[in-house]
Each structure stands twice: as C-alpha cells, then as structure tokens.
Amino acid sequence: MASGRFRFAVLMALAAAGFAVAGGAAQAASGPLSLAAFGRETGIRASAEQVQEAWAALESMGTTKYLGGMLGGLRLDESAMIAGVLSIGAGEFDALLNGGGLNTASTTAGTELVSAMTSAAGIDLSYLTGSYTEGGGGSVSARAASASGATAGAEACDAGVSSEMASNGKAYVDGIVQAAMSGEYGFSKIQDLNPTSGSGTGFAALGCLDKLFQNAGSDLLFKPPSLGSLTTQLQNWVCGEAASVAEQVAGAFGNGEIFNTASLGGFYPGANFGEAFDSNPNQRLGMGQKAADTFGQSFANFEKQAKAQVEAAADITRLFK
Amino acid sequence: MRTSPTLAALALASFLAPAANAAPVAFDASPEAPARRIVNVVFAQYLQERVGASIETAVLDLDGDGTGEIAVRFVHTGSCAEGLKKCRTAVIRHDAGEWRIVLDRHAESLDFGGPSGPLPGPLAVDGVTWRWGKGFAYAPDGKGLGTEVSFQAVPAASAQSYAAAFGEGAQRLAAGGHGVRISYSTDKVADGAETMLVKMEGGVSCGEATGCPVRLLRKDGDKWTPVLSTTTKGKLAVTDTVRAGYRDIVVETKLGYAVLGWNGNGYAVADRFESTVRGR
C-alpha cells in the first residue's frame, strides 16, 4: 500500500498551501458565528453537536496531544483538528497523525483534507471545545518574509526570547553531537549492542540515541539529519567512509552561527530542516548556487572541525572495537 | 435559471431512465468530420504527445437541445490497452461558454439511447450505465460493478476487539462509546484463505471526504491480519475477477467507484469508474 507516500503528499501539500489564515479566523469571540465561519470556510456543514462529538472523540483517542504541534507547516489547533476528523473520520485522522497513512482509494481525499484543515485553522470554537489554541494555522508566506528579513511578523520572537531560543538550540545540537561521539552512548558502543539478546537488535537498538535527534518540540515533520540513515550507512560502509559520515554529523551545524537568527525575525523563521522539507524553496540549493547563496555567509563560513579532531572523535578502533 | 416543475419532472425521468434502448455510437474516423476541429483544440496537448493517433468522432445530442455534444475516441498505442481494443473515450459538451469533458474513460464500447429530457441522457460504457450527475458530468450508477457485500452487526460486547483492526485510536474511540458501530462480513473474498471484511460506522467514524473505514482481515494461524485498509462512501462489493486467489473489491468514492485488485502483496487500485471533475 502506498499510504506512506500519500501521507507525505498530504503533508507536503499542507506545507505548500501557504496558509493564508482563514477569513473566519479573525473573529472577536467564539460563538455560533464561529461555527458558521467553520462551515463557510471548510464547506463542511457540521452542527454544534457534531463538532462537540468530534472534539470528544479526539480527547478519547488522546489525539489532542498534537494540539499546537506542526503538521507540514500548519500549526494544529482545535478547529483544524475537528476539520480533519470530519473530513476523514476520527480513527483515520488519529492514525494519520500517529504516522499511519491516508487509507483510502479516493483521489480527492488528500486535497479535501488539506483544504478543510487549512481553512478551519484559526477559527475559535472554544465555546464548543472549551479551549482555544493561539496561532493555529500559521503562515508559511509570512515566515518566508520574516526569514528574508523583510518584516518581523506576528510570529517573530522578541529579540531576547529569540536569543535565548538560539542559545538553547545550539546547546541542544551540541549535546546531540557529543552524545553521538561519546564512548558511553555513541557509535563506539555499536559493537556492544548484541543483536541476539534482549531487545537490543544491533543498530536498531540505537533507538534511544535516535530519539535524541527527534524534535522534542512542535513540528511533527522536523527531521534533523537522520541518525537512522547515517547509522545504516555506517553499518554498510567501509571504515574510512564511516569517519566521513561522522564528520558530517559533527560539521552539519557548523559553529552554531546558523542559530543566530534574531536579526531575521526569530529562531529558524520559516525554516524546516530535514528530509521531508527538501523541496522547501526557501532553502533549496538551485542549479549553480552555493550554500552561501541560500543560507547566507554565516552558514557558508562555518568553522569545520579540524581533521585530526574528527579522526579522533571517529576513531575507527573506538567505533568498531 | 429557474426550472419549471415539468422540466424538473422530465429531468428526473431522464436521470432514472435506464440505458435500455441504447445503441452503439457510430464513430467517424474521417479527418474531415465536423467535430474534428473542436477535438483538435480541446485535446491539443494530448494529441501533441500522440503523433499519428487515429481520432474517431461522433456528434450526439445528449440533452435534446438541438446542439451537439461530441464523443471522441483516440486510437493510439499511447491511448489504448488490450491490443488497441480499450481506448480513451471522452464526451465533451459546450457549457457556460466552453467545451468541457463530461465523460472520460478507457472503453471498448459506448452506447447512447437518445435524449429523454433536458438533462443529458444516460450512456452505457462497456455495459456500465453512466448517468448525468450533480457535478455536471457523467458518473457511473454502480450497477453491475460486483456483488454487494452483506454486513451484519458485531455484538456490542465484541465491538472493541473488532475495533482493533482499525488502529489504537479507533479502539479507544469504540471503548469510549461515541456511537461507533462495527459490522462484518464473511462473504468469500479469497480462495484458500479465511477472510473477513470489517466496517466501522457511526458517530464521527466516517468522513465527508473518504466515507467509512473498511478493513479486509485474513486469518493467519490464530490471528487476523489486516491485508487491506480502505474506505467507502457507501457501496462495498466483490467482483468475479480473481487475481492470485483474491477477488477484486469495489469501494465507493466521492466521484464514483474504485476497483481494488490483489497485486501479489496487497490490494491496489486496479480500475476507476469515476466522474471527471472537469464538468464544471
């Protein structure tokens, strides 16, 4: 079944949709007018009872844990999630958010789901749900403008907050790199993972380390340079190449200059790293372009670790002792 | 434009009338055929990619308004299947100032019984009746697309265990009530394997875009394994076509019907009987 591809397509469509926040989003207060706006924007004529039923279903399934999270650039709020339920059904929507596919033979379902969720986002249905998540929907285009330094939009952080987030982000990545290189958790322990005992299954048992690379934050699609794919490659490659991969891990984030985005309107404004966002036009390297053309000089001039440092960190004897 | 009660009644009669008296549409392969000029424009891009295609046209008056609609058949290796027998066949209609594709399908035969009201009359495409639909285009009526599966309700006490087939979320949904109803069918789907079709309905289990979730479970040892996860907007049928021991399954989509066939590892879409979305 090609449901995975379907899910990816849905998510990319969400990312590409632009998310001009629905007209219904600009409401003074939640009430019957909000429900009317929901119907008008999404095309789904749902009664107050149906909306409440959808919300109750999300709560029962535990799907509300995704509130405030990012789905392909769309910040999930109550109304977007309710629109998702009413579009494809509660169980299917929960499965989709939990990493499943869109299980349908319908060719239009993905488009309709994306349209309904993006149109609904931002509409305050708190009089039916009891809660309202600020910032639902978001706007890719606004963030792109912010990233180019054009404006510090509503989403841009205060300079102090941004600086703090930048510093935390750098510390986070430094920690991950350190963990990957460490003798305690890192590649050097690979041989110690006995594939035949307990739950350890060789590289698969690096799940805990891989978790470190998963974004603990908000974007369901945030995929930092995949440790899974790197370790798979390490498993198959000769040792010389393994050192090169380790160097990529260590060098991918440079000296941290990339985190200094305060002047651009915030921490990673409009930026989404990872495989799922390879087609993001804001970051894609064009034909003949250099990294600096896309990311700016601060990225291009990052300080690579000296070869000796990398070799020491990725010492083959330690890696595969 | 307001429709008079008489016209509305005629329209309904047209909609309900079967294509019983349908006769094969007589296509003309002549390059001088009057409809060719229009076809060349409407399908310009398509024809550019199929140099040397034989274009067969026919002028029909589907709605009896004295203005012709055009049926076209493209005969080309890039337009046909099964040894140039099933070829792309389309019907275009002039509406709201432009020519719109109101039927588009790979077909061997096209039959039309004549207009019977102000709305375009039904067409038979390879024996399946297509009727004028709400989307200002033809949609299949579903008759003849397999034998409808007969479902029976799962007892409330067992609903939660059946719900597991739909995932953890669905299981929690069923456990929490929410008006969830689960039904099952043991109608024969596979040769030599015990299978069960399970459908979830009720409450907010079904969606506007997709319909209700359906799973095909196969008994492997003492466990039931899902081998198909799909949805249906209504009809669920099995056909007589068998692929590697598994029958084709027909599900209803928003635009018509999809036929799912076994590809050796799982079910995939084998054919679609769906309305064109380009009607208007």
Per-residue pLDDT tens over the stretch B199-245? 999 989 999 999 999 999 999 998 999 999 999 999 999 999 999 99
Nearest-by-Cβ selection for A91 from B169, B208, B274: B169
A31 is a domain residue:
yes
Are A315 and A175 in the same domain?
yes
Strand order in the sheet with B138-140: B23-24, B110-112, B123-125, B128-132, B138-140
In this prediction, does ipTM exceed 0.90? no
Interface membership of A56 toward B (CB under 8 Å) = yes
Going by C-beta distance under 8 Å and a sequence separation of 6 or more, which residues neighbour residue A193?
A: A200, A201, A202, A203, A205, A206
Interface membership of B255 toward A (CB under 8 Å) = yes
CA A63 to chain B, closest CA, distance in angstroms equals: 8
Name the closest residue on chain B to residue A82, using Cα atoms: B204
Confidence of residue A7 (pLDDT cuts 50, 70, 90): low
- Residue A89, pLDDT > 60, answer yes
Contact B207 A108 (CB under 8 A): no
pLDDT tens for each residue of A93-104? 999 988 778 889
Exposed/middle/buried for A311, CB within 10 Å: 0-12, 13-18, 19+? middle
Q: Which of A76, A109, A138 is the last residue of a domain?
A: A138
pLDDT at A81: 95
Share of chain A above pLDDT 90, in %: 20
Rounded to whole angstroms, the Cα distance separating A55 from A128 reads 8
Contact B253 A107 (CB under 8 A): yes
pLDDT, average across residues B76-104: 91
CA B229 to chain A, closest CA, distance in angstroms equals: 6
Quote the mean pLDDT of chain B.
88
Taking alpha carbons only, the member of B179, B224, B229, B186 closest to residue B205 is: B179
Q: Determine the residue among A61, A85, A97, A98 to mutate to test chain B binding: the one whose Cβ has the most chain B Cβ atoms within 10 Å.
A: A61
Rounded to whole angstroms, the Cα distance separating A99 from A196 reads 28
Q: Which of A80, A104, A138 is the last residue of a domain?
A: A138
Judge contact between A284 and A15, C-beta under 8 A.
Answer: no
CA B46 to chain A, closest CA, distance in angstroms equals: 21
Are A50 and A186 in the same domain?
no
Interface membership of A93 toward B (CB under 8 Å) = yes
- What's the domain count of chain A? 2
- CB contacts of B237 in chain A (<8 Å) are none
pLDDT, average across residues A208-233: 46
Contact A61 B267 (CB under 8 A): no
A147 is a domain residue:
no
Are A131 and A199 in the same domain?
no
Backbone angles phi, psi at B112, to 5 degrees: -140, 135
pLDDT tens for each residue of B7-62? 444 444 444 444 457 799 999 999 999 899 999 999 999 999 999 999 999 999 99
A209 is a domain residue:
yes
Interface membership of A100 toward B (CB under 8 Å) = yes
CA B32 to chain A, closest CA, distance in angstroms equals: 38
A237 is a domain residue:
yes
Domain spans in chain B, listed from the N-terminal domain onward: 5-140, 147-274
pLDDT, average across residues A108-121: 91
Contact B260 A105 (CB under 8 A): yes
pLDDT at A306: 58
Are A163 and A303 in the same domain?
yes
- Residue A10, pLDDT > 50, answer yes
pLDDT tens for each residue of A263-286? 444 444 333 333 333 333 333 333
Are A21 and A164 in the same domain?
no
Going by C-beta distance under 8 Å and a sequence separation of 6 or more, which residues neighbour residue A213?
A: A176, A224, A225, A226, A227
- Residue A198, pLDDT > 60, answer no
- Residue B255, pLDDT > 50, answer yes
Judge contact between B72 and B39, C-beta under 8 A.
Answer: yes
A150 is a domain residue:
no
Are A300 and A163 in the same domain?
yes
A152 is a domain residue:
no
- Residue B84, pLDDT > 50, answer yes
Domain membership of residue A164 as a residue range: 159-319
A55 is a domain residue:
yes
How many other C-beta atoms can be found within 10 angstroms of the C-beta atom of residue A216?
8
Contact B172 A87 (CB under 8 A): no
Are A173 and A127 in the same domain?
no
A151 is a domain residue:
no
How many other C-beta atoms can be found within 10 angstroms of the C-beta atom of residue A260?
15
Are A272 and A194 in the same domain?
yes
- Residue B128, pLDDT > 60, answer yes
